[in-house]
C-alpha cells in the first residue's frame, strides 16, 4: 500500500467490554506497526461519540451498528455520510429483568420461566396482570435510540405478543446506571452489552433472562465507523487502521490468555473501573468454557468470520427501523445500506494480511442453527457461526422490507 495520508488519528470509543479490539491494538502496538499514532478518546455517551465524529474532532469511532446508517440518513445528529468497513464483534448483549419482576414471572407462569425461550411469555402474563390491576406499564431500558439493544429488545417483546410501544414504556438509561436504576425501581429491566448485565447479577438486583444470542445467533454488534469523505481522502490510512484492528480481533480470539490480558488492559488501563470477575465473565470465562458447544455463544472478535461487514446485518437493523415506523422510505434505506457498509474495503485490508474473505455480498440470516461453511474468495471456504433468529424466524436480505408491517404507526421509538 502506498504512503499514509496522515499518521495521527483520533478514535472515539465508549468504555465497554467490546471496545477491547481498540485497546488491544493500542496496547499490543498494532497501530504503531502500521505507522499510526492513535489517540483513543474515551467518551461517556453515544451522543458524545456521535458529536465527535460529526464535528470532525475524531477521524474514526467505535460505533453501534446502526449509527453509520442513522447518521447518513440524517436521523441522528446532522446528516453525515458515514461508512463502516469492519465489524468489531458479534454477540455480547443480554436482557436483564429486576429480581422482583422475575420472581413475579416465576409465580405466574413457572413452566415458562424455566425456559429461556419462553420467559417473554411469562413477562406478557405479568403485563396483563398489571393492566387488570390498573398499574402503570413496566419500564424497560436500552442504551440509545439507535442501538442494537433497542431493536433486539423490541424483537424479543414482539415475539411474545408484547407491543413495545403500548404494553411497556421504553426508556434509555446509560449502561453504567442500569443496575442502580433497577435497584431504585425506576426501571424494571434492560437490554445492554457486557459487562452491564453481569454487573446487575453481581449486585444481586437483576436476573439475565435472555441472551442476545437467543434473539439472533451471532448478531453484528460494534463496528468501526468513519466519515465517507474522510475515507475517500485517506484510503491508505483507513486501510492501515483496518489492518491494525483486524489483527487485534484475531489476537483476541487466538488464545484464552489473550482474553484475560484484554480484561486486564480494560481494567488496569482505567477503561472499566469494575471488579475483574464482572469483566471476565463475558470476555474470558465464556471463552474458556467454550471448548464445547458454548463456544458459539461467546462474544466473537474474529472467529466465524466475525469481522466481515455484512450488508445483511445492517439490513436487518434497517428492517427494524422500517418495521417500527422509525423510518418509512425503504428505497433510501436500501441505498444507504449499500453506501454505508463496505465489504470491498474490508476485503482489500483482509487480503493484504493473507486473510480470505467471503465471496458473496450477503450472508444468510435465520437459516443455520449450527456453524456452516461458505465459499471464500481464495477458492477455499470460511466457517460462519449459526445465524438463527428467535422462534425460527427467517430474514431474506433480498426482500428486507415486508409489505405487511406493524399495523399501527408507532408512537414511540
Partner 1 sequence: MSVRVLIVDARSERSHTLERALVEAGFEVLMVTDESCDLHGLVERLEPDAVLIDTRLPSRDVLEHLGHINRRYPRPMIVFSREADSALTRQAARAGVSAYVVEGLVPSLVRSLIDVAIESFETHRQLKHELTRARETLNQRRTIDRAKTALMERYGVSEAVAYGQLRKLAMDRRTTVFELAGELLEQLVDTRPRKPGAKSPDGDEGDDR
- Give contact residues for partner 1 (rule: CB under 8 A): 15, 42, 44-48, 50-52, 54-55, 57, 77-78, 143-145, 171-177, 179-181, 183-184, 186, 199, 267-275, 411-413
Choice between 182 and 350, CB closer to partner 1: 182
Choice between 143 and 226, CB closer to partner 1: 143
Rg (CA), the chain: 20
Q: Shortest Cβ distance from residue 24 to partner 1 (Å)?
A: 16
Residues with Cβ < 8 Å from 255, sequence gap 6 or more?
Answer: none
Choice between 55 and 135, CB closer to partner 1: 55
Q: Shortest Cβ distance from residue 390 to partner 1 (Å)?
A: 24
CA distance 227 to 315: 20
Q: Is residue 31 reached through a cis peptide bond, with omega within 30 degrees of 0 on the bond before it?
A: no
Q: What share of the chain is helix, strand, coil (3-state, %, to 5)?
A: 45, 15, 35
Q: Are 385 and 364 spatial neighbours (Cβ–Cβ below 8 Å)?
A: no
Which element (helix H / strand E) includes 120? helix 119-132
Q: Shortest Cβ distance from residue 188 to partner 1 (Å)?
A: 13
Angle formed by the axes of helices 311-323 and 330-340, nearest 10°: 150
C-alpha cell recorded at residue 34: 502500521
Choice between 267 and 362, CB closer to partner 1: 267
Choice between 149 and 303, CB closer to partner 1: 149
Q: Shortest Cβ distance from residue 14 to partner 1 (Å)?
A: 9
Q: Shortest Cβ distance from residue 225 to partner 1 (Å)?
A: 16
Q: Give me the DSSP letters along 245-289.
A: HHHHHHHHHH-HHHHHHHHHHHHHTTS--S-HHHHHIIIIIHHHH
Q: Give me the DSSP letters along 361-373.
A: S---BSS-SS-EE
Residues with Cβ < 8 Å from 235, sequence gap 6 or more?
Answer: 5
Q: Shortest Cβ distance from residue 290 to partner 1 (Å)?
A: 27
Choice between 106 and 177, CB closer to partner 1: 177
Choice between 137 and 176, CB closer to partner 1: 176
Nearest to 388 by CA among 212, 214, 165: 214
Choice between 80 and 305, CB closer to partner 1: 80
Angle formed by the axes of helices 119-132 and 148-159, nearest 10°: 80
Q: Shortest Cβ distance from residue 206 to partner 1 (Å)?
A: 14
Q: Shortest Cβ distance from residue 276 to partner 1 (Å)?
A: 8
Choice between 235 and 275, CB closer to partner 1: 275
Name the H helices within 78-118. 99-108, 110-113
What is the distance in angstroms between the CA of the first residue and the CA of the last residue of the chain? 44
The two beta strands, 372-375 and 381-384, are antiparallel
Q: Shortest Cβ distance from residue 259 to partner 1 (Å)?
A: 19
Amino acid at each position: 500500500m502506498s504512503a499514509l495520508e496522515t499518521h495521527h488519528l483520533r478514535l472515539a470509543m465508549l468504555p465497554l467490554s467490546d471496545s477491547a479490539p481498540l485497546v488491544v491494538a493500542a496496547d499490543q502496538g498494532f497501530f504503531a506497526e502500521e505507522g499510526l499514532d492513535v489517540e483513543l478518546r474515551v467518551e461517556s455517551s453515544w451522543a458524545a461519540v456521535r458529536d465527535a465524529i460529526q464535528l470532525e474532532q475524531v477521524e474514526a469511532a467505535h460505533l453501534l451498528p446502526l449509527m453509520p446508517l442513522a447518521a447518513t440518513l440524517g436521523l441522528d445528529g446532522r446528516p453525515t455520510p458515514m461508512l463502516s468497513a469492519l465489524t468489531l464483534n458479534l454477540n455480547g448483549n443480554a436482557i436483564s429483568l429486576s429480581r422482583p419482576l422475575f420472581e413475579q414471572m416465576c409465580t405466574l407462569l413457572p413452566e415458562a420461566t424455566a425456559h429461556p425461550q419462553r420467559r417473554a411469555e411469562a413477562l406478557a402474563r405479568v403485563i396483563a396482570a398489571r393492566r387488570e390491576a390498573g398499574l402503570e406499564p413496566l419500564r424497560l431500558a436500552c442504551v440509545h435510540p439507535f442501538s442494537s439493544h433497542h431493536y433486539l429488545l423490541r424483537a424479543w417483546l414482539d415475539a411474545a405478543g408484547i407491543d413495545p410501544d403500548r404494553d411497556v414504556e421504553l426508556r434509555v438509561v446509560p449502561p453504567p446506571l442500569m443496575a442502580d436504576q433497577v435497584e431504585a425501581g425506576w426501571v424494571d429491566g434492560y437490554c445492554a452489552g457486557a459487562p452491564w448485565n453481569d454487573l446487575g447479577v453481581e449486585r444481586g438486583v437483576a436476573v439475565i433472562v435472555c441472551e442476545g444470542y437467543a434473539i439472533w445467533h451471532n448478531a453484528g454488534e460494534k463496528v468501526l465507523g468513519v466519515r465517507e469523505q474522510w475515507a475517500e481522502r485517506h484510503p491508505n490510512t483507513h486501510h492501515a487502521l483496518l489492518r491494525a484492528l483486524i489483527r487485534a480481533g484475531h489476537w483476541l480470539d487466538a488464545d484464552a490468555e489473550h482474553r484475560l490480558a484484554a480484561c486486564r488492559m480494560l481494567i488496569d488501563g482505567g477503561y472499566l473501573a469494575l471488579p475483574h470477575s464482572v469483566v471476565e465473565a463475558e470476555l474470558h470465562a465464556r471463552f474458556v468454557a467454550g471448548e464445547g458447544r458454548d463456544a458459539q455463544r461467546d462474544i466473537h472478535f474474529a472467529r466465524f468470520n466475525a469481522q466481515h461487514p455484512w450488508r445483511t446485518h445492517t439490513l436487518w437493523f434497517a428492517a427494524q427501523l422500517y418495521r417500527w415506523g422509525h423510518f418509512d422510505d425503504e428505497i433510501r434505506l436500501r441505498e444507504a445500506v449499500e453506501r454505508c457498509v463496505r465489504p470491498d474495503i474490508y476485503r482489500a485490508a483482509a487480503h493484504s494480511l493473507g486473510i480470505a474473505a467471503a465471496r458473496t455480498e450477503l450472508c444468510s440470516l435465520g437459516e443455520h442453527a449450527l456453524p456452516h461453511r461458505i465459499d471464500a474468495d481464495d477458492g477455499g471456504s470460511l466457517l460462519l457461526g449459526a445465524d438463527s433468529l428467535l422462534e425460527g424466524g427467517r430474514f431474506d436480505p433480498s426482500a428486507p422490507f415486508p409489505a405487511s408491517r406493524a399495523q399501527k404507526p408507532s408512537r414511540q421509538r
